[in-house]
Amino acid sequence: MKRPSSRHGRARDVLANKPAPGAATLAAASEAVAAVVSGGRAADEVLLDTAERIDRSAIQAIALGTLRWYLQLLPAVGALLDRPIAGLPPNLAALLVTGAHQVEYSRAPPQTSVHLAVEASRLVGAARASGLVNAVLRRFVAERAELLAVASTPDMATPADESSARSSAHPLWLVRQLRAAWPEHYLAILAANNEHPPMTLRVDLAQLSSDDFMTQWRALGREAAVVAWRPGAITLARPAPISVIPGFDTGRVSVQDAAAQLAAPLLQADAGMRVLDACAAPGGKTLHIAQLTPGLKQLVAVDIDAARLRLVEDNFARANAAAQLVSVERLCLDLTQPTAESSALLQPQSFERVLVDAPCSGTGVIRRHPDIKLLRRPTDIEQFRAKQRALLSAGLKLLRPGGRLVYCTCSILPAENELLVGEVLAADSRAHALPWPDALPMPPGLLIRPVGWQLLPGQDAGGDGFYYACLGVAT
Ligand SMILES: C[S@@+](CC[C@H](N)C(=O)[O-])C[C@H]1O[C@@H](n2cnc3c(N)ncnc32)[C@H](O)[C@@H]1O
* Span 76-107, pLDDT tens digits: 999 999 999 999 999 999 999 999 999 999 99
User: Among 279, 360, 408, 410, which one carries the catalytic annotation?
Assistant: 410
Q: Are 319 and 291 in contact (CB under 8 A)?
A: yes
Q: Is the pLDDT of residue 356 over 50?
A: yes
Which is the closest atom of ligand 1 to the Cα of 256? 8
User: Is 162's C-beta closer than 6 angstroms to any atom of ligand 1?
Assistant: no
Coil, helix or strand at residue 325: coil
Q: Is the pLDDT of residue 34 over 80?
A: yes
Q: How far apart are CA 463 and CA 475, in angstroms?
A: 37
Residue 443: its pLDDT value, please? 98
390 Cα: distance to centroid of ligand 1 (angstroms): 13
Delimit the domains of the chain by residue range.
Answer: 12-152, 200-255, 260-473
Domain over 12-152 is classified CATH 3.90.1150.10: no
Instruction: Tell me which of 254, 300, 304 to substitute to probe ligand 1's pocket, judged by most ligand atoms within 8 Å of the beta carbon.
Output: 304
Q: What is the largest CA-CA distance in the chain?
A: 91
Q: Is the pLDDT of residue 129 over 80?
A: yes
Q: Is the pLDDT of residue 154 over 90?
A: no
Instruction: Tell me which of 303, 369, 387 to substitute to probe ligand 1's pocket, judged by most ligand atoms within 8 Å of the beta carbon.
Output: 303
User: Is 359's C-beta closer than 6 angstroms to any atom of ligand 1?
Assistant: yes
C-alpha distance across the termini of the chain, in Å? 91
Which is the closest atom of ligand 1 to the Cα of 355? 6
Torsion of CA 377, 378, 380, 382, to 10 degrees: -170
DSSP secondary structure letters along 30-70? HHHHHHHHTT---HHHHHHTTTTSTTHHHHHHHHHHHHHHH
On average, the pLDDT of the chain sits at: 94
10 Cα: distance to centroid of ligand 1 (angstroms): 53
Which is the closest atom of ligand 1 to the Cα of 359? 10
Worst-scoring range by mean pLDDT, 7-16, 123-132, 200-209? Answer: 7-16
276 Cα: distance to centroid of ligand 1 (angstroms): 12
- Burial of residue 58, with CB atoms counted within 10 A of its CB: 0-12 exposed, 13-18 middle, 19 or more buried: middle
User: Is 279's C-beta closer than 6 angstroms to any atom of ligand 1?
Assistant: yes
In 3D space, the residue among 171, 168, 208 whose CA is nearest the CA of residue 189 turns out to be: 168
358 Cα: distance to centroid of ligand 1 (angstroms): 6
In 3D space, the residue among 401, 400, 422 whose CA is nearest the CA of residue 474 turns out to be: 401
CB atoms within 10 A of CB 402: 11
For 206, residues 6+ apart whose C-beta sits below 8 A from its C-beta are 291, 294, 323
Residue 10: its pLDDT value, please? 39
7 forms bridges with which residues in the sheet? none
User: Is 357's C-beta closer than 6 angstroms to any atom of ligand 1?
Assistant: yes
Q: How far apart are CA 307 and CA 325, in angstroms?
A: 22
CATH code, 200-255: 3.30.70.1170
Residue 21: its pLDDT value, please? 82
In 3D space, the residue among 437, 428, 342, 432 whose CA is nearest the CA of residue 390 turns out to be: 428
User: Is 338's C-beta closer than 6 angstroms to any atom of ligand 1?
Assistant: no
Task: Count Cα atoms within 13 angstroms, Cβ side, for 55.
Answer: 13
Domain over 260-473 is classified CATH 3.40.50.1000: no
Q: How confident is the model at residue 5 (pLDDT cuts 50, 70, 90)?
A: very low
For 454, residues 6+ apart whose C-beta sits below 8 A from its C-beta are 412, 417, 418, 446, 447, 465, 466, 467
Q: Is the pLDDT of residue 351 over 50?
A: yes
For 209, residues 6+ apart whose C-beta sits below 8 A from its C-beta are 203
Residue 424: its pLDDT value, please? 98
User: Is 41's C-beta closer than 6 angstroms to any atom of ligand 1?
Assistant: no
**Average pLDDT of span 27-46:** 98
User: Is 305's C-beta closer than 6 angstroms to any atom of ligand 1?
Assistant: yes
**Average pLDDT of span 376-404:** 98
453-455 and 447-448: which strand pairing?
antiparallel
Q: How confident is the model at residue 338 (pLDDT cuts 50, 70, 90)?
A: confident
Report the nearest-CA residue for atom 13 of ligand 1: 279
Residue 175: its pLDDT value, please? 97
pLDDT tens-place string over residues 422-442: 999 999 999 999 999 999 999
12-152 and 200-255 share one fold = no
Q: How confident is the model at residue 11 (pLDDT cuts 50, 70, 90)?
A: very low
Q: How far apart are CA 284 and CA 427, in angstroms?
A: 31
Residue 397: its pLDDT value, please? 97
Report the nearest-CA residue for atom 25 of ligand 1: 305
420 Cα: distance to centroid of ligand 1 (angstroms): 17
Percent of the chain with pLDDT over 70: 95
Let me know if 279 is a catalytic residue. no
Residue 153: its pLDDT value, please? 61
Residue 324: its pLDDT value, please? 83
What single letter denotes the amino acid at residue 127? A
61 Cα: distance to centroid of ligand 1 (angstroms): 27
